[in-house]
Structure 1
């Protein structure tokens, strides 16, 4: 039986309810105090309530699992088939041409956050079930449309749901594309971090004995270091900051707005007055340069396009710094001589010469902006205290994407080689952390990969923390799930269902041996701006997906 004609009878309703659902801002938020059934905020809960009410109005049994997830159910029997969709979305962000929650229709497209990921698929799945009900399909299996609410933020919703509800025997999630994604690479987010041992802030403290002995009590307030570093008072009006052996500075307050620095060791410090009772002290190091901030990459961007850093310079090293450091591709330098700051921008695209800046020769093709920044740091050899960290990243990852220098290179015949990417980096004066994404073959052991990284760390000061680990998904080609979904795809499109793989994750991760990604994106279709401004779904493509989705459910619940 083909369901194409039947599902199109619901096109107007599908469009109407999808627009209503898009208009609900269902971005993850903190739990609402006093409302235990809203674990991910009011907006997410509103979207869940909307779909469960709609399911009930269409004549199905519905159940809300404490606001974490819910389902609509049809049919009877012990065996359970499921379609997993999600109602939460990523943050809307900036740069929209259309209102992000306006659900505007323009040139056959519905624009709005969640239109293609994954609200369109959620509405379609419900009406696909309605189409089966309308033609009198009475399956001997139960089928559920499971509405998740935390897919974009970690998928803990499904952990909660499946701890309380039956796991389906077979399932698919329309949260990727067609034909069938039967392989999802293992996916680990690893935080690599380092922290300076010394403090960088000192506060003014009235020294009563100084005041009693001084001709001008106001000029002789002592400075006390707020730090884990040892502090030794060396004079009535001075306290040295002991960074390392032989690298000491004395800081004394001599007037209301003056804080002189006496250099007593080989290293330099920069001092900035931050308020009436405190000053900030920054050690710039023997090279006269110290990192203040760094930021690169975005949570949902695969290859970082930009990485920015700000460094403090000692005045006598400014000229040397610019001369030595301006020699790398995809690096732009801007010097603030008034504040003795060096701003560095690394790009993944070729840079052009601009007024007031130094830009190196362009690279031949887009690269990873964080890798470019680390490469520049390593070649420039600045902020030597930080060198352990950036040398590790440069030598163990760098431009490699196969994990060879980390000792984790591997591959299999099913899903190919392991892949490693630097995704984000954040730093301040005390702490720096890079997030590395590792995607490993479906037949390999992710825990063993992590043990290898941890056991081969060259420096105790560098820390490694596993932030997220999505185990791989692999459903073989001869599995009944693949066979039946392949049949549905072939009946509707006339084409064979190619088996694909992805590095990202879907709800299949929660059912790795019985669930695959199936739709909604059509092969060769334009990118719908998922996770970007002006996200949309084309109505014609949505309805084509609806026919395949309905046929897929039918094959799973009705065919032997």
Structure 2
């Protein structure tokens, strides 16, 4: 529409289409090798009014090979992606009385939407399943982590000393949403509290590995998380590996970019615009002066990362009008 109306612009406007936002951003690495990254810009991959701060994202794998096989635990398995709250967990135990297991399950107080039951008994082994509620890993408080409820159950069993210590540490460390169990409760004014999600666990009688999704506030660095977490792991003979890391990103609320985009949002919708922070990561981090801007509106159903993710036609048209006004606010030549 801007081109059709021949409105003069004083800045180049470029649409960059990414294809690897969920899997490592190799597309942006390639783009930076071939093209110059824009000075300012926005990523239409989040929510309105505007996201000016995105927390740093650390995925940590913690693992250990046991010197002797675990006595009773044969398997704890749950989660497929670190950035998703696991909604299922399978536990396999051996040489424990079924009656005791069933009694502990019956005594457990579970919130609505969470279930735990004996799925199968095969010879010496008992298979249990735990069901929870999935959510985005940046908002663990909105989910019900099946792994946490499995650990809560396991810590009530009469296990070996090694098993008890491991399960108790895992449960206490990961049951909180803000890193309190691991001693990494960080917070700041621009972006709020650190968040922690136990996203994946694979434990057998021989070894264990689990992955934590940690989102740290924008005024901190990864070492503020890594140093205490490394100490925690080393105390228990565990190995820690950084699987991936995205730096925190922050554009001041008073910047011309933020103010120009919020003005466009208010001009089109008639509603007051305001900047806020998230734990998620968007392509906005590619640009030094980049923010996330739409396309979801406040009060709309949260369908991001859900089956049948959608945007209504009405909101798509409204979003297009906002983006057109935003381009004019940032790039239009002043009238002489």
Provide the rounded CA distance (Å) in 2 between the counterparts of 1:144 and 1:548: 17
Q: Name the structure 1 match of 2:17.
A: 147
Aligned partner of 1:516 in structure 2 is 291
Alpha carbons 1:335, 1:341 under 8 Å: kept: no
2:284 aligned with 1:502:
no
Using CA pairs under 8 Å that are at least 6 residues apart, name the structure with larger relative contact order, 1 or 2: 2
Residue-pair matches, total: 321
* Counterpart check, 1:346 vs 2:123: no
- Structure 1 residue 406 corresponds to structure 2 residue 188: no
Once the 2 structures are TM-superposed, how far is the Cα of residue 369 of structure 1 from its aligned partner? 1.8
Alignment of 1:72-151 (within 5 A): 131-151=1-21
Residue 79 of structure 2 aligns with which residue? 297
Aligned to 2:327: 553
- Bigger CA radius of gyration: 1
Cα displacement (A) at 1:197: 3.2
In the aligned structure 2, how far is the partner of 1:410 from the partner of 1:339? 47
Question: Residue 312 of structure 1 is aligned with which of 70, 87, 94?
Answer: 94
Name the CA distance, whole Å, in 1 between partners of 2:242 and 2:300.
36
SS of match in other structure, 1:295: strand
Matched residue SS, 2:181: coil
Shift of 1:377: 1.8
TM-score in terms of structure 1 length? 0.53
Aligned to 1:77: none
Query: 1:143-542 to 2 correspondence within 5 Å?
Result: 143-197=13-67, 285=71, 289-291=72-74, 293-299=75-81, 302-313=84-95, 317-319=96-98, 321-322=100-101, 325-326=104-105, 327-330=107-110, 332-334=116-118, 336-348=120-132, 367-382=144-159, 384-395=161-172, 397-457=173-233, 459=235, 461-511=237-287, 513-527=288-302, 529-542=303-316
DSSP 3-state at the match of 2:148: helix
Question: Cα gap change, 1:167/1:371 in structure 2, threshold over 3 Å: closer, same or farther?
Answer: same
Deviations 1:100-128 (A, max 9, x none): xxxxxxxxxxxxxxxxxxxxxxxxxxxxx
Unaligned stretches of 5+ in structure 2? 134-141
* CA RMSD between the two structures: 2.5
Q: CA deviation at 1:300?
A: 7.3
**Large movers: runs of 4+ above 4 Å:** 335-338
Shift of residue 388, structure 1, vs aligned partner: 4.4
CA 1:403–1:366 in structure 2 vs 1: closer, same or farther (change >3 Å)?
closer
Alpha-carbon distance change, 366 to 409 in structure 1, aligned in 2, over 3 angstroms:
closer
